[in-house]
Amino acid sequence: MRREIYAGVMSGTSLDGVDAVVADFAAEPASRCRVLGVAHLPMADPLRAELMVLQASGPDELARAARASLALADLYAEALAAACGDAGVAAADVIAAGVHGQTVRHRPDLGWTIQLNDPARVAERAGMAVVADFRRRDVAAGGQGAPLVPAFHAAMFGAADEHRVVVNIGGIANVTDLPPRDAARPPADAVRGFDTGPGNVLSDLWHARHRGIRYDADGAWARSGHTDAALLARLLAEPYFSLPPPKSTGRDLFDAAWLDARLAALGRAVEPADVQATLVALTARGIADAVRGHCAGATMVLACGGGARNSALMAALARELAPRTVATTAALGVAVDHVEALAFAWLARETLAGRPGNLPAVTGARGPRVLGAITPR
């Protein structure tokens, strides 16, 4: 039986760990790809702390970034080995692994983006070809370099009889608009996608600051507080929210300084639990406004990413988006934690086939481009 096995690895803005998948794409279309094995490895606190610091300029940052890249590469290789073990396949059976790297700076407005990674080290340690550096070709073509997963969302979750939206809620949230498939209109023309703003990045930051734990499990702390309407209005006044797509963002904008400045400008104290509740409301409102404003006609919203495991956030989304159906990608057979890693396995496949991986209507690039750089096995 013919097999077409690819792997994908992703460590997102939340910096909570690395997800890896091994999948068989032998069946067409891509929506029939079969996940063979998965792995999740937590990120060690020292590496996570260093990656947080590297979000901004600092002393000896080139050498520190190089060391962090090596540590990331080792973690990626370990995750790939674990996913292969879970799948029961050898590294030699994997055609290539898509390894996005860790974004530490993203300034497409200035023509550059930086993802820490060492693809050669991953290839050497994992024993497989690696496709990496996906964003820069799109940026070179005048695009945002992100989000890159909408093409995969279209292949995996698009339908002929239903208008769907996929919402990935990682550190930053992004939406992919999937109108009903039309044979006369290819996905490159119909699909839209962009970053809506904060996903978990601010609520994780606030929870870690006040509770000493990286994230608010299932939104329990947020549910103990109440949304502060004045604070929410001040947060939503951020110009990014009203920018038209294509657009992308990250910690370069939505960081501790951004939140602290708006809390200070409020002129009064807000209970920490109420801030947490308001940050959940901000994420839900940012996503919902994007769906209402740019995904007209959508009847189903499918969430994935870490935020999809936060019942407080999912309940807020359901309220904001009613009467649309709000579910997770698990309803269509793909676990919420596997979507992005699977997307980069798919993107590696597109690269090796010489097919474009970006959607110019999503990123704003001048045209379709084959993404990524290949490091042989």
Backbone angles phi, psi at 112, to 5 degrees: -145, 160
> Is the same domain home to 140 and 65?
yes
> Is the same domain home to 167 and 312?
yes
pLDDT digits (tens, 9 = 90+) for 272-306: 999 999 999 999 999 999 999 999 899 999 999 99
> Is the same domain home to 268 and 236?
yes
Q: Can you give the CATH number for the domain in which 135 is found?
A: 3.30.420.40
CA gap 63, 84 in Å, rounded = 32
pLDDT digits (tens, 9 = 90+) for 87-104: 999 999 999 999 999 999
> Is the same domain home to 265 and 342?
no
> Is the same domain home to 214 and 319?
yes
> Is the same domain home to 191 and 301?
yes
Q: Which domain holds residue 255?
A: 150-332
Helix (H) or strand (E) holding 68, with range, is helix 61-87
The CA angle 24-75-42, to the nearest 5 degrees, is 95
> Is the same domain home to 157 and 292?
yes
> Is the same domain home to 157 and 137?
no
For residue 185, pLDDT over 60 is answered with no
> Is the same domain home to 268 and 356?
no
Cis ω on the peptide bond leading into residue 323 (within 30° of 0)?
Answer: yes
> Is the same domain home to 185 and 284?
yes
Structural domain total, the chain: 2
What is the overall mean pLDDT for the chain? 94
So what's the pLDDT on residue 313? 98
> Is the same domain home to 301 and 245?
yes
